[in-house]
A and B are shown apart, each in its own frame.
Chain A
Amino acid sequence: MNRDSLKLAAVLSLILVGLVLGGCGEKRAPYVGRYKSVEPFGGESHINLDLQENGKATWTLGGKSLEFTWVVNDGKVWIYTKTGAIIIVTPSEGGKVLSADMTGDWHPGCPPGSCVVFRRVPQGG
Chain B
Amino acid sequence: MKASDKPSGAQGEAGLNLSHLGQAMRVPAGTRIVSQGEAPEYFYVIQSGRVRVFRETEDRIRTDLTELGGGSYFGEVALVTGQPRTASVEAAEDSLLIKVSKDEFDRLLDQNPQLARHIIHQLAGWLVAGDRRLETQVVHQVKLRQISWFDYVLMLGLSLVLALVFNLYNDNRLPLVHGIGEAEGVKEISLSQAKELYDKKEAVFVDARKSAFFDQRRIKGAQNLPVILFDIMYPMFQFTLQQSEEAKDKTVVVYGGAFSRRLDLDLAHLLINRGVKNVAVLNDYRGWEKVFPLVEQTPKEPASLPLGLPGYLEWVPVGIFLLILIPPIRRSPYLSVFCRLLLGAIFISFALSKILRPAVFALNVVDYNMMPAWGVNLWALALPWAELVVGLFLILGIRTRAAATIIGAMNVMFIAGLVNAIFQHMPINCGCVGEVGEPVNWWKVLKNTGMLVMCIQIFFYDRLMVLDRGGFILRERKI
B227 in contact with A61 (CB, 8 Å)? no
B210 in contact with A104 (CB, 8 Å)? yes
B345 in contact with A19 (CB, 8 Å)? yes
B57 (CB) vs chain A CBs: closest residue: A2
A85 in contact with B226 (CB, 8 Å)? yes
Contact A15 B395, CB 8 Å, known A43-B243, A104-B210: yes
| Contact partners of A87 in chain B: CB under 8 A | 229, 232
Question: Which residues 230-263 in B have Cβ within 8 Å of A in the complex?
Answer: 230-233, 235-239, 242-243
Is B348 an interface position by the 8 A CB rule?
yes
Contact A106 B359, CB 8 Å, known A4-B472, A22-B309, A62-B235: no
Contact of A86 among B360, B396, B465 (CB under 8 A): B360
B233 in contact with A102 (CB, 8 Å)? yes
B352 in contact with A23 (CB, 8 Å)? yes
| Contact partners of B242 in chain A: CB under 8 A | 43
Q: How far is the CB of B252 from chain A (nearest CB, A)?
A: 17
A107 in contact with B229 (CB, 8 Å)? no
B303 in contact with A106 (CB, 8 Å)? yes
A20 in contact with B352 (CB, 8 Å)? yes
| Contact partners of B83 in chain A: CB under 8 A | none
A23 in contact with B349 (CB, 8 Å)? yes
Task: Please report the C-alpha to C-alpha distance between residue A69 and residue B359 in the assembled complex, in whole angstroms.
Answer: 13
Task: Please report the C-alpha to C-alpha distance between residue A106 and residue B345 in the assembled complex, in whole angstroms.
Answer: 26
Task: Please report the C-alpha to C-alpha distance between residue A41 and residue B211 in the assembled complex, in whole angstroms.
Answer: 18
Is B305 an interface position by the 8 A CB rule?
yes
Interface of B is mostly: helix
Stretch at the interface among A27-35, A75-83, A91-99, A117-125: A75-83
B395 (CB) vs chain A CBs: closest residue: A12
A19 in contact with B232 (CB, 8 Å)? no
A105 in contact with B210 (CB, 8 Å)? yes
Is B101 an interface position by the 8 A CB rule?
no
| Contact partners of A108 in chain B: CB under 8 A | 303-305, 437
Question: Which residues 56-81 in A have Cβ within 8 Å of B in the complex?
Answer: 59, 61-62, 66, 69, 73-74, 76, 78, 80-81
Task: Please report the C-alpha to C-alpha distance between residue A62 and residue B274 in the assembled complex, in whole angstroms.
Answer: 15
Contact A81 B232, CB 8 Å, known A12-B395, A19-B349, A22-B349: yes
B475 (CB) vs chain A CBs: closest residue: A4
Is B362 an interface position by the 8 A CB rule?
yes
B235 in contact with A84 (CB, 8 Å)? no
Is B308 an interface position by the 8 A CB rule?
yes
Is B124 an interface position by the 8 A CB rule?
no
A84 in contact with B363 (CB, 8 Å)? yes
B61 in contact with A2 (CB, 8 Å)? yes
Task: Please report the C-alpha to C-alpha distance between residue A107 and residue B345 in the assembled complex, in whole angstroms.
Answer: 28
Contact A86 B436, CB 8 Å, known A15-B345, A108-B305: yes
B306 (CB) vs chain A CBs: closest residue: A74
Q: How far is the CB of A28 from chain B (nearest CB, A)?
A: 16
A76 (CB) vs chain B CBs: closest residue: B305
A106 in contact with B305 (CB, 8 Å)? yes
Is B228 an interface position by the 8 A CB rule?
yes
B359 in contact with A84 (CB, 8 Å)? yes
| Contact partners of B322 in chain A: CB under 8 A | none
Task: Please report the C-alpha to C-alpha distance between residue A4 and residue B465 in the assembled complex, in whole angstroms.
Answer: 10
12 A-B pairs, CB-CB below 8 angstroms?
Answer: A16-B348, A23-B349, A23-B353, A43-B243, A82-B359, A85-B228, A87-B229, A103-B211, A103-B212, A104-B210, A105-B212, A107-B303
Other 14 A-B pairs with CB < 8 A, given A8-B474, A23-B349, A86-B436: A2-B61, A3-B59, A4-B474, A12-B396, A19-B349, A22-B308, A42-B235, A42-B239, A69-B171, A81-B228, A83-B228, A84-B360, A84-B363, A85-B228
Q: Chain B interface (Cβ within 8 Å of chain A)?
A: 59, 61, 171-172, 210-212, 226-233, 235-239, 242-243, 300, 303-306, 308-310, 341, 345, 348-349, 352-353, 357, 359-363, 395-396, 427, 429, 435-437, 465, 472, 474
Q: Chain A interface (Cβ within 8 Å of chain B)?
A: 2-5, 8, 12, 15-16, 19-20, 22-23, 41-44, 59, 61-62, 66, 69, 73-74, 76, 78, 80-88, 102-108, 114
Going nearest first, the 10 A-B pairs with the smallest beta carbon separation are: A84-B359, A42-B235, A43-B239, A42-B239, A85-B228, A106-B436, A42-B236, A103-B211, A23-B352, A84-B363
